[in-house]
Each structure stands twice: as structure tokens, then as C-alpha cells.
Structure 1
Amino acid sequence: MPSRTLETWPHGAIMLDAQHTRFALWAPDAFYVSVELEDGRSIAMLPQAEGWFEAQVNCPAGTRYRYNIDGERDVPDPASRAQALDVHGWSQVVDPLAYPWRHSYWQGRPWHEAVIYELHVGAMGGYADVEKHFPRLAELGVTAIELMPLAQFPGERNWGYDGVLPYAPQSTYGSPEQLKHLIDSAHEHGLAVILDVVYNHFGPDGNYLSQYAKGFFHEDAHTPWGAGIDFDRREVRDFFLDNALMWLLEYRFDGLRLDAVHAIDNPGFLQELAHRVREQVDTGRHVWLVLENELNQASLLRHDFDAQWNDDFHNVLHVLLTGETDAYYRDFAEEPTAKLARCLGEGFIYQGHTTRHGHGRGEPSGDLPPTAFVAFLQNHDQIGNRALGERLHQLCSPQALKAATTLLLLSPMIPLMFMGDEVNASEPFLFFTDHHGELAQAVREGRRNEFADFAAFHDPERRERIPDPNALSTFTQSAPTWADNEHTRFYRQLLSLRHRHIVPHLPGSVALGARVLADAAVSAHWRLGDGSVLQIDLNLGTTALEHPAGTHILFQTPAQDGTQLPPHSARVTLFPVGEHP
């Protein structure tokens, strides 16, 4: 047998032809491994070098199987492409070529065209129900949908960040073929599809790797989720590299959002992932790679990744809009207007600056294009990590929210909205799981204790009112309802302006800086790629400012002529080439 490489046998069950499947498991702590089939067959796997076991079996797509370790325990395939029921049960052989793609010509969209709509598939009813929203979202001006993580998790409902089988799309949402149909249908409507992937940890229930592959983890490296993953090992890196390529090549996702990469203590892995993706993807196809990274590592955005979620943008605007300064918002409470100006002029606010914990955070980012930053006023974290899941329109004035939304949708940064933002959904988005027994109790208590630093929940009795993540009602309350309203029309108007006047000129755009006008008021400028200059004046304060309007106003809210910038207002001006503000 040849030695194992990505080409000879990847992790998991790979069909060789219609009737034969190759199974490969990295189990360096096992003496004996077999493939157990649901029809009763047991096939010994041959030991290979470096802890691998491999077998070729006469079985077609749809076959249910699991691995037996040392004759003592049955476990699912950690690289299962589908689970028949849940994380503890049978894995299933999947034919990656079975789905007949209808839009195989789709090559994606350039990154600068991205207007992203983040959604939770379970809260929207599953893969088939998500598809029903595509005509509405495309008409609104959305160009990409971002799915919260799909990796199979324990139970029937979960945010997705407790996934333990990264290759298996969550079975309660639909089949792998239904997921491919969702992506195919999105492409039919001109929508790119991004998947949120979690490579920094496994969930607390259903991960069996430590029982036969202890080397998968760094026991002496701790993360908020337990022992860190050992990305120094080739087998571990390949497990996640194979996974990224599966989503992009087999499922034809248009991009990946990598969750919390600050918890991956191996920058080389991130660079290798980016390089492998660029090498494997067909020339001419647009594939986006986006980070979530508390470290604000601008260096990763210069060559390897398209953009980063800019939490700084959200956090400082949240402080200005709501006045909240609890917990991590304390890092933005001092001179928030100056911080907002830095964000608009340079990208990150924290570029080596010291946080409330006394640690330096971030790298200089002023040389990066504005499209290297994904901006948002809400996302799953920023709503769901509130104790009661309130949405922003329930926390600030309607006119201030309109002004901030104008900044979000008409700045040269890449805008992201969360499901329901466009209708000011009244439903909360709560943190929900489906754990049981002692784990359910631990999650319930841990969730409530997270808010001890928030003034409203210092009192333990008040924390008891925080919804139980495991209650079915917590999940059902989090499903938004949609009906066009004035806010929807506002989104549609702004996105129409963005696509007509800003998006075509984003390549080559640069920030020209931003300045403080007054408390809670800033003026920011960007030179677009065609030489025109975009200016956004924002006043989130309660006092009108003397700030004359020019003659090239693209949009303003509230609509008002004159020399003043009213309270809770935004004015967007687009100066033609050769004219300067």
C-alpha cells in the first residue's frame, strides 16, 4: 500500500466507484480498528504507517457504518459526510457526484460586490425553507448569504458552534443533496453562499477523537472550549484542509468565514489553508476567505484573506447608539467618537492599543483597502450574546438607527446584516442548544454566569430570568417573521444606491481619513477607484451642528436642506473626479 497522502486517501469514507468505498481513520492510539456496517458485516481495517487504518469495502452510497476501536467501543466517523440521525449514531456513505448541478457555470462574484445576509438555517426552517427567501433577498440588494455553522451537532437545535463532525451537514436541516440544492438555487438568483466554519474547537458532546487519537489535541494548551487542537500535526492540519476544500469544491460554496481564529495557535495553518484554497480553486472562480479574529492581525489580510469581521466597527457604534458600556463595551467607552473616526479612517480601532485588560491588541491597518473590513450593526453574536437577545432597534432611537444604517450600507466597507434586520424584526435571537442531563445544567448555569459583569444582571435572581438555552421555547422564539415595511424600503433604497454609485468603483478605493466634528459626530472620506471622493457625515448626537451640505448629495437622513447636520442624521456626498470636499 502507498503511504497516506491527500491524494491516496483523505480522512473518512471516499467512494471509489458506484459499489466500492475506501475508509480511512487516523487512530494512533488504537491497536485494532474495524468498519461495522448496519447490515451486520465487520471488516478489519489494515494498519498503515503513522497511525492510519484503511480498508476498501464493497458498499454503495447510502451505506450506514461506524468504526469499532479495539473491539471495545463503536464511534462515528470523525470525517462522516452525513449522519443518519445524530452525532452518536451511524455515519453514512455519500456520493459527492450524485447531485445534478443546474448552474455549474457559476463562477461567483467579485468580493467588492458583497452585501452579506447572515442567517441561521434551523431558525429559518431548514435548507428548503431558506431557499424560499432568495427572490426577496436578491430584490432587496443582498448579493451573498452567510450560513451559520452546519457541522453536525448534538441534539436537534444549536447555534452550530457545538459541532463535532465538521464534514457532516446537520441532518435535521435536510440532506447533503438538499444543501447542494440550496446553493444551486442561490446561484440561480445571483447570490453567493458563504459558510461559517469552526476549526478552533469541537463541541462538548459527541467528539470521540480523544479516545483513539489523543495527539489531535494539545492537553497543555487550553482554550475556552477545553484542550487546544494541535495544528502542528500534519494529520490534524489535513483534517481541516480537506474539510475546507470539500465545502468549496464538492458543495460549491463561494467562501468560508473562519470562526475565532485567534484560538488557533498556529498562523502557519491559516496561511496554508489560504494557499491550498487558491491553488485548488479553478482559475477565474471567485472564492472568498473571511476571518473572525480578535487579534486584529492586519498582516493576514494583505495576502491570504479577503477580509475580517470588524467587531471594532460594531462595538463603538453600539456604545454611541445605546450608551451601554458593560463588559467588552468598556474598551470603547472612552472617547468613542475619536475611536469611530479611527475605525472609518484606518479600519481597526485596536491596532496595538491597550485594552481594558492591559493587553495590546491588533496591528496597524491603515494601509488596507476599506473592503478588507466586514462592517455590521448586528450579527448572531451581538444579538445572541445579549442575555435577552434584544435587537438594536429596541435599544436606540429609530432615527439614530437609520443614520447608522446609512453609514453601514453606503460606506466602502463590506456590509453584513443579520436575518430580520431589514424588517426590524421584533423577535429576539437567543442562545439555544439541545443538551441534556449534567451538560444541560452546566450550559444553563454557565450562560447565566456570563452576564455577572453586566449591571442589569449583577443580582443572581435576575440572572435566573435569562432564558434556558436548552428549552425548546428559547429556540422557537428566535425565528423571525418577515413582512415588508418602511425599514425594508429604507434598506432597498440604500442598497440600490450602493450598487449603482459605489460598488462599481470599489476596486482601488482608499480611506482618506476621518475627523471628529463634535461629540458623537464624525466626517469620513474615501477616494474610490475611479478618482471620485465619497464623504459620509454622521451625527449621532442630540445637537444640530453647523456643517454645510455640498452640491453632490447622494443621500441624507433625515432629508433636510441647509447648512446644519441635524441630530441623529447622516449625509452622504459623492464628489465627481476632480472635485474635492
Structure 2
Amino acid sequence: MDLANLIKVCHQHGIRFFLDAVMAFSRANPYHNVNFLDFYIQWKPIGAPDRDPEQGDRDGFGGDLFKYNYWVEGYHPLTGVRDRYVPAREYLKAHMAHWMLYYRIDGLRLDSVNNVGNYDFLQEFKDLARQVWRDRNGSDDRFLVVGEELSVPLALVHQNRLDSLWNERFKQIVRQVILGRSSSGDSFEWSVRKLIDCRLLGFRDCTQAVNYLTSHDVGGHSNERIYNYLVNNGVADCEERIKLAFVCLLTAVGIPMILAGDEFADQHDLNIDQEHGNNKQVDPVNYNRMSEDWRRRVFDYVARLVRSARLQTHSPPTTTVFCTSILKKESAF
């Protein structure tokens, strides 16, 4: 009830609320014990003699994979009519409908979509979510189903399987550009061109790309917070370069997303050198750092850029907030 009330207050202030949905795998789910064979594939390493062929190249990241191609005959869990269906698909669809109808969320961010391993189900899931949204009298242009996959599988948006994708290439390019370097064999000019126009990276319109300077995956080389990235590359005065990075982010074609804390150049308190280490999940934002003069200047500068971007697009002052289960907050304007 507390979360439902929080979302209601967000709506009263013009803020949209997104659910971070982990659909590829899970741990400690009741269906592990209730009916494992209908719902799950036990993850096994490559070469294991009893590895399930349906696993393919999917990664469970320490959990077991949902089984999205296993059809059964029986009474459908939602309609009650005897039918053929995939138990895991219906389970995830019911989960999504509960969040949309009870908590009144305004969109979904789908985690690690390539590890779902089924483009047809992703489209089925997205189409149902949009139908539930319409049944709530929602406007199509106020709803998004966004996929997160660092390899940026553009086929998912080209084939209309999902509405948008995280644009990891933006992060990679902008980090080179603010150091005065070109990216991936391009000239500096073409690095900047691709940075500010996602269509040059294969996206087809501005709603398909979610751009960011830093994501929640801050572990490992060149993934750290933008402040730490600059310091690790020998930059002593970070203020102007961070401001430049935000100019690129908030004027580029696409949907900008900001990892909470980057708007005032927060930094890591824990060691996040390991790409898959646990520290990245528990290194909270330190808002006390906003008391530092230069960080406050960065914050005020970013706030002005956000207001300017809203005015130029003639859009209402609405913020989309991605709230993940690890309490990392990311927001897209």
C-alpha cells in the first residue's frame, strides 16, 4: 500500500513511474518448488552433459531461466478455459497486469532482454501491456516498454517487438568525446554526429533510443560513474567536462536517462572494479556531496538544461522514473 500511495503522489506531481521487470531468470521464486519443470530451465554451464537444449546461450546470472517455449494443455490460469498455453508466459503476463492495474505503473523496463531468448514472447508481452494501458484510457504516446541489453539488438525495435532500447553506444561514445578522442575508428566529427543523432547508429526515431552517461551497471573498466571515469583518465578539473557530457545527453536525439547522483557528479564510495561484483548493487548515492560548491554548480546547470529541453519539445514537465529492485534510481526526461 505504501508503494501504491507513493506512485499516486508521483502522478499528482506529473511524474510517471516505471517497473523494472526481470523476465529472463529468477532466484528463490515459489515456482521453483511448486512446479519447476513447467516454469524453469536449470541453468548449466556450456559443456555440461545434462544441459537443456532450450537454454541456448542464455545466462542465468546465478538464477534459473524461465521456460518460454514449453506448451501444456489444461485450464488457462487467467480465463479458466481449457486451452494450450505456456505457463511461464502467462505467469509473467499476470505479474505485469497486477503492477499496471493495482499499482498503476506507467511503463516497463525489461532487464537483460536477450536472455529472455524469445522475441515472440517479448512482443506478446509488450502488446498486452499496451492493451492494458489503453483499457486504462491511457494515451499511446505516454507509455513505453523499454528493453535493456548492452549489445543493443536493434531488431527488437525494427520488428516492433519493443518500443525502445537502451543505447549503450551513446555512453561509450560520449565518454570518448569529452576526453577529446574519437570513438570506434570514426573521425572525431563522426563520433559527435553519431552521438547526437541515434539514427546514425541504426535507430529509426527518437523514441527508440534511451541515452545515458552512466547506467546502473557501474562495475568494471569504463562503466564507473562519469566523475570516476574522468578521474581515472587523469582529468583533474571535472566540472566543465561533466557539463559538456550533459549538454550532449540533453540535446541528442533520443530519450535521456540519468543515473541518480550523476546530476551532481556523485562518486563511488566502494570498490567497483569487478564488472559482476556485488559492490555496485550497494553503493548508495551520497547526497551530502551536493554541499560542495562545484557539485552544486553542476546540479544547477543540469537542472537548467532539463528545463530548456522541456520547453523546446513543448512537452509537459513530466519525468519518467525507472525504479529498480536494488533501489538504484534512474530517471529519463
TM-score, normalized by the shorter chain, greater than 0.5: yes
Residue pairs, 1:159-238, within 5 angstroms: 177-203=1-27, 206-207=28-29, 209-211=31-33, 212-218=35-41, 219-220=52-53, 221=55, 222-225=57-60, 228-233=65-70, 234-238=86-90
SS in 2 for 1:305: coil
* Equivalent residue letter for 2:304: Q
Relative contact order higher in (CA < 8 Å, ≥ 6 apart) = 2
CA drift at 1:249:
1.3
Select 2:118's aligned residue among 258, 266, 270: 266
Select 1:311's aligned residue among 159, 165, 168: 168
* Partner Cα distance (1:402, 1:470) in 2: 27
Question: Cα deviation per residue 1:421-468 (whole Å; 9 max; x = unaligned)?
Answer: 12212344766xxxxxxxxxxxxxxx95x58xxxxxxxxxxxxxxxx7
CA drift at 1:274:
1.4
**Partner in structure 2 of residue 138 of structure 1:** none
Select 1:372's aligned residue among 184, 208, 217: 208
* Equivalent residue letter for 1:491: V
Mark the runs of 5 or more structure 1 residues left unpaired by the alignment: 1-176, 326-331, 350-363, 432-446, 452-467, 506-581
State TM-score, norm by structure 2. Answer: 0.70
Select 1:283's aligned residue among 134, 137, 146: 137
**Partner in structure 1 of residue 299 of structure 2:** 488
Residue pairs, 1:383-422, within 5 angstroms: 384-386=218-220, 390-396=224-230, 397-422=238-263
Contact persistence 1:430–1:478 (CA under 8 A): no
* Partner Cα distance (2:314, 2:22) in 1: 30
* Partner Cα distance (2:170, 2:222) in 1: 22
Q: Percent identity?
A: 22
Mark the runs of 5 or more structure 2 residues left unpaired by the alignment: 42-51, 71-85, 231-237, 317-333
SS in 2 for 1:194: strand
Contact persistence 1:180–1:251 (CA under 8 A): yes
* Partner Cα distance (1:495, 1:321) in 2: 20
**Partner in structure 2 of residue 166 of structure 1:** none
CA drift at 1:324:
10
Larger relative helix fraction: 2
CA drift at 1:348:
6.3
CA drift at 1:179:
0.8
* Equivalent residue letter for 1:398: E
* Equivalent residue letter for 1:488: F
Contact persistence 1:301–1:372 (CA under 8 A): no
Q: Note if 1:469 corresponds to 2:316.
A: no
SS in 2 for 1:316: helix
CA drift at 1:341:
2.5
Q: Note if 1:292 corresponds to 2:145.
A: no
**Partner in structure 2 of residue 36 of structure 1:** none
CA drift at 1:235:
0.9
- Give the number of the structure whose alpha-carbon radius of gyration is greater: 1
* Partner Cα distance (1:387, 1:430) in 2: 12
Q: Structure 1 pair 348/235, CA: closer, same or farther in 2 (3 Å)?
A: farther
* Partner Cα distance (1:389, 1:266) in 2: 28
- The count of aligned residue pairs is 268
* Partner Cα distance (1:376, 1:207) in 2: 32
Q: Structure 1 pair 301/194, CA: closer, same or farther in 2 (3 Å)?
A: farther
Larger relative strand fraction: 1
